Chains A and B, each alone.
Chain A
């Protein structure tokens, strides 16, 4: 996965914000669910196929005071995990 890849949230996936600090992404077609924290929710809401992972990471770092320097790496890993499960698609940067 590259910094320039633009993730798109699978529109069939449901975001359930269950508690202030906990949410679930649920794919009704597969019954798979992934738990996530507020940062994950913020990432999810930005995966519109227009922002690159780099863009999303930059926005997250600005939005969350305690976002670590390794935010990009962690966000990329999160997006990658979602992509493997079919929760997001990736718009690849053409070269």
Chain B
């Protein structure tokens, strides 16, 4: 945080619920793939060490006692754990539901049947980045497309909800129309989500080959906005070109018409995650978010999660980002979009600027326009 802002941002901790509703847990640091834009690998904050099942089971007991409702199992690739059924039993025993973030390639009938049998699986998110192997495998490796589709079909056979996520990058930005047709028409999925490769982990070393340039971002936004209309809302996003396209259109309209500031506009309000969920790294470190893996708040089975949740100074500082005005940042000086801007993802802000309490340059509309961008 810039020095001059500190006096203005005296912590006024907003009301926080007693315990988190949900957690994202990286149950393994192992993965069967090495994707070219993976945020997890080549991330200096990560410790690539797995915990034995009994450590997770003890932690799940704590979550149960705190009334946590749901855990999302991630990695690495969560289905790589041979003892996954034991972990799922621990989650079920503690009256929680679960979901997965997966590449799909290790999902087989045996584990799918087990998951379906628990009745507690919310969904499995499988990454699909192309309408064919050539496009998908370009960043994820040979054979990964077939594995993902095989995994999706296995889940569908067992009536487990599949939530596909398409990560948009330079190699698939021209394939979006085909991807939408493939996922929604051919595979028959009810919907899918999108984001884009971000400057984190392995991606930092492949940025020139992977990250969208200005022209490609324009194309992605225009295509996705057109496709969402065509498919009547069956394409969603929380980040990436579709989110940017929608948000920036609103911001430009508001600025042009001199509308009042947006609710929570003009301050670092973008991320509400620390108010209802928290994350755990594969090595057991408790962190605010997988995108902020360097902010260690404590360790599972050594520190009380409830104590961390309620009293961690680092977590409360993150929750109070909303009190930091964008007008105090040199980066934002003179920007006419400030009343409508929320500063966006602190994780991406950190990797791009080295500061958590800084707006993310990646989501800066002014910069996008100055570099030749246009609003779709």
Query: A residues within 8 Å of B by Cβ?
Result: 12, 14-19, 24, 26, 28-29, 31, 33
Contacts and interface: CB of A to CB of B under 8 A. Distances in A.
A28 B69 contact: yes
B70 to A, nearest CB: 8
Given A28-B95, A28-B96, A31-B97, A16 B21 contact: yes
A31 B118 CA distance: 13
Given A26-B69, A28-B69, A28-B96, A16 B19 contact: yes
Contacts of B17: 18-19
Contact of B67 (A15, A19, A31): A15
Contacts of A31: 97, 122
- The 6 A-B pairs at the shortest CB distance, nearest first, are namely A16-B67, A18-B17, A28-B95, A14-B95, A14-B67, A26-B69
Interface of B: 15, 17-19, 21, 67, 69, 92, 95-97, 119-120, 122
Given A16-B67, A29-B119, 17 more contacts: A12-B95, A14-B69, A16-B21, A16-B69, A17-B67, A18-B17, A18-B18, A18-B19, A19-B17, A19-B18, A24-B69, A28-B69, A28-B95, A28-B97, A29-B120, A31-B97, A33-B69
Nearest to B67: A16
Interface SS majority for chain B: loop
B276 to A, nearest CB: 9
A55 B120 CA distance: 35
A42 to B, nearest CB: 17
6 contacts: A18-B19, A18-B21, A19-B17, A28-B95, A28-B120, A33-B69
A33 B19 CA distance: 16
A19 B67 CA distance: 13
A15 B96 CA distance: 12
Contacts of A16: 18-19, 21, 67, 69
A13 to B, nearest CB: 8
Nearest to B98: A28
Contacts of A17: 18, 67
Contacts of B15: 19
A51 to B, nearest CB: 23
Contacts of B95: 12, 14, 28
Contacts of A28: 69, 92, 95-97, 120
B33 to A, nearest CB: 30
Nearest to A17: B18
A58 to B, nearest CB: 28
Nearest to B66: A16
B92 to A, nearest CB: 8
- Which of B17, B96, B120 has the most chain A CB atoms inside 10 A of its CB? B17
B116 to A, nearest CB: 13
A12 B95 CA distance: 6
Contacts of B67: 14-17, 26
Nearest to A11: B95
A9 B177 CA distance: 50
A19 B17 CA distance: 5
A15 B69 CA distance: 10
A94 to B, nearest CB: 32
B176 to A, nearest CB: 32
A65 B235 CA distance: 51
A12 B96 CA distance: 10
A19 B310 CA distance: 12
Contacts of A19: 15, 17-18
Nearest to B97: A28
Nearest to B64: A14
B318 to A, nearest CB: 19
A39 B111 CA distance: 43
